[in-house]
C-alpha cells in the first residue's frame, strides 16, 4: 500500500517517524510532498521514503492520502488537485469537518486528529469517517493509527473537547509543568530552574507508569500520596479551589477558537461556490 503524505510539518513528520518506528510499514511505502523541499531532504536521511515532485503526484500514486497542512491551506490545496475518485482522503486538520472535505472529494473521506506523542507510538488518535469509506479502507486506516498508539472513534459533537484532551494536551501539560517549575523557583530561589524541570519530568514519567502499569485511578493515586492530615492534602485543596475555573476558561476559549476556525473554513467554501466558473478560473 502506498501511503501519501502532503505537508511535512509537525504532524507530517510525526506520521513518518511514528509509522516507520512502529515497524508497521517500510519508509518505501511512504510517498511525501512538502512545499519546502529541505524538510523532506533532512528527514529522508533517517527514513528513506519516496519524495514526490508535486502534490498531484502523491494523489496519483497513493492509496491513502494524509493531508497535513494547516486548516486554512487545506481546501484551497484540495481544489487545485485532481483527486482520483477511489483515493481515501484523510485530513488531520482541526476545524475542517467531514462535510467540508466531502465538498472537494466525492470518494472516501476520514478525519483524524493525531497527536505529537505518536512519534513515540503512544497517545490517542481521534477518528471518524464518511459513508463512502469501505470496511477494508477503514480497517487499513485503523491498522496504521493503532501502530501510532490507541484510536478513539469520535463524533463531530465531541471531537473539539476530545482534541484538547488528546492532541493539545501534550503542549498544555508542558505548559503546566513549566508554570509549576517557575513557581517553585520563585518560592525557593535556592532551587535551580533546570533542576526543578528535571524533577518534574522524571516525576511525570513515574506517575504515568504507576497509572498505566498498576491500573490506578486518579483517586487511588491521590490516596497513596496524600497522607491524611499531611502536606499534599494542602496542595490538593488549593487545586480544588483554583483549577476548575482555569480549566473551564481553557475549554471555553479553545471552543471559541474552534468556532472561529470553522467559520473561516466555511467562508472559504462559500466564497468559492458563489463564484462563477470564469471568476474561479481567474482567481487560480
Ligand atoms: N501540531 C499538532 O500537534 C497537531 C496538528 N494538527 C493539525 O495538523 C495540521 C498541521 O499542523 P502542523 O503540522 O502543526 O503545522 P505545520 O505548520 O508544522 O505544518 C504544515 C506543513 O504544511 C506544508 N504545506 C502548506 N501548504 C502546502 C502545500 N500547498 N503543499 C505542500 N505542503 C504544504 C508547510 O510547508 C508545512 O510544512 C493542522 O491542520 C493542525 O490543525 C492536528 C493535531 C495535532
Ligand atoms: O493547536 C492546534 O491548532 C493543533 C490542533 C490540536 C493540536 N494542535
Please, what is the angle between helix 193-213 and helix 169-187, to 10°?
130
Domain containing 215 equals 161-264
pLDDT digits (tens, 9 = 90+) for 42-74: 899 999 999 999 999 999 999 999 999 999 999
Q: Based on the domain organization, do 8 and 149 belong to the same domain?
A: yes
**What DSSP designation does 116 have?**
G
Structure ipTM: 0.99
Residue 36 scores a pLDDT above 80: yes
> Domain boundary residue among 122, 154, 186?
154
For the segment 97-126, the average pLDDT, to the nearest whole number, is: 97
7: left (phi over 0), alpha (psi -120 to 50) or beta: left
pLDDT digits (tens, 9 = 90+) for 212-237: 999 999 999 999 999 999 999 999 99
CATH of the domain at 220: 1.10.3730.10
Q: Based on the domain organization, do 165 and 150 belong to the same domain?
A: no
Residue 269 scores a pLDDT above 90: no
118 touches ligand 1 (CB under 6 Å): no
> Domain boundary residue among 96, 123, 154?
154
* Ligand with smallest separation from the Cα of 67: 1
For the segment 226-252, the average pLDDT, to the nearest whole number, is: 97
In the annotated binding site for NADP(+), the residues are: 6-11
State the pLDDT at residue 277.
Answer: 57
For residue 96 the three cell numbers come to: 475542517
- Across 181-221, the runs of DSSP E, i.e. the strands, are none
Q: Based on the domain organization, do 180 and 130 belong to the same domain?
A: no
The residue whose C-alpha atom lies closest to atom 25 belonging to ligand 1 is: 69
The residue whose C-alpha atom lies closest to atom 1 belonging to ligand 2 is: 168
> Domain boundary residue among 154, 189, 205?
154
Of ligand 1's listed atoms, the one at least distance from the Cα of 91 is: 39
Tell me the C-alpha distance between 265 and 111, whole Å. Answer: 15
* Ligand with smallest separation from the Cα of 164: 2
Residue 32 scores a pLDDT above 60: yes
**Does residue 231 form part of some domain?**
yes
Q: Based on the domain organization, do 186 and 144 belong to the same domain?
A: no
Q: Based on the domain organization, do 252 and 111 belong to the same domain?
A: no
> Please, which residues have CB within 8 angstroms of residue 17's CB and are 6 or more apart in sequence?
43, 46, 47, 119
CATH of the domain at 104: 3.40.50.720
> Please, which residues have CB within 8 angstroms of residue 277's CB and are 6 or more apart in sequence?
none
163 touches ligand 2 (CB under 6 Å): yes
6 touches ligand 1 (CB under 6 Å): yes
Q: Based on the domain organization, do 150 and 166 belong to the same domain?
A: no
Residue 280 scores a pLDDT above 60: no
117 touches ligand 2 (CB under 6 Å): no
For residue 154 the three cell numbers come to: 469520535
166 touches ligand 2 (CB under 6 Å): no
Residue with cell 501534550: 170
For residue 164 the three cell numbers come to: 484538547
Amino acid at each position: 500500500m502506498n501511503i501519501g503524505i502532503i505537508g511535512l510539518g509537525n504532524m507530517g513528520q510525526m506520521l513518518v517517524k511514528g509509522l516507520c518506528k512502529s515497524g508497521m510499514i517500510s519508509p518505501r511505502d511512504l510517498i511525501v510532498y512538502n512545499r519546502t523541499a529541505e524538510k523532506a531532504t533532512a528527514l529522508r536521511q533517517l527514513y528513506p521514503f519516496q519524495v514526490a515532485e508535486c502534490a498531484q503526484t502523491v494523489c496519483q500514486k497513493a492509496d491513502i492520502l494524509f493531508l497535513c497542512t494547516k486548516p486554512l491551506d487545506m481546501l484551497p490545496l484540495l481544489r487545485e488537485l485532481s483527486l482520483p475518485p477511489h483515493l481515501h482522503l484523510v485530513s488531520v486538520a482541526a476545524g475542517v469537518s467531514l462535510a467540508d472535505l466531502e465538498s472537494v472529494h466525492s470518494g472516501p473521506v476520514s478525519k483524524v486528529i493525531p497527536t505529537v506523542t505518536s512519534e513515540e507510538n503512544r497517545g490517542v488518535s481521534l477518528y471518524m469517517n464518511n459513508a463512502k469509506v469501505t470496511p477494508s479502507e477503514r480497517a487499513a486506516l485503523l491498522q496504521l493509527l493503532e501502530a501510532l498508539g490507541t484510536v478513539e472513534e469520535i463524533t463531530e459533537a465531541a471531537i473539539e473537547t476530545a482534541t484538547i484532551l488528546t492532541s493539545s494536551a501534550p503542549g498544555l501539560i508542558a505548559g503546566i509543568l513549566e508554570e509549576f517549575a517557575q513557581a517553585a523557583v520563585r518560592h525557593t530561589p535556592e532551587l535551580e530552574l533546570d533542576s526543578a524541570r528535571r524533577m518534574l519530568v522524571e516525576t511525570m514519567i513515574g506517575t504515568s507508569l504507576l497509572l498505566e502499569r498498576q491500573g490506578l485511578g486518579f483517586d487511588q493515586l491521590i490516596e497513596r500520596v496524600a497522607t491524611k492530615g499531611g502536606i499534599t492534602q494542602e496542595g490538593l485543596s488549593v487545586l480544588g479551589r483554583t483549577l476548575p475555573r482555569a480549566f473551564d476558561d481553557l475549554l471555553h476559549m479553545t471552543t471559541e477558537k474552534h468556532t472561529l476556525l470553522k467559520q473561516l473554513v466555511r467562508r472559504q467554501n462559500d466564497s468559492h461556490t458563489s463564484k462563477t466558473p470564469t471568476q474561479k478560473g481567474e482567481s487560480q
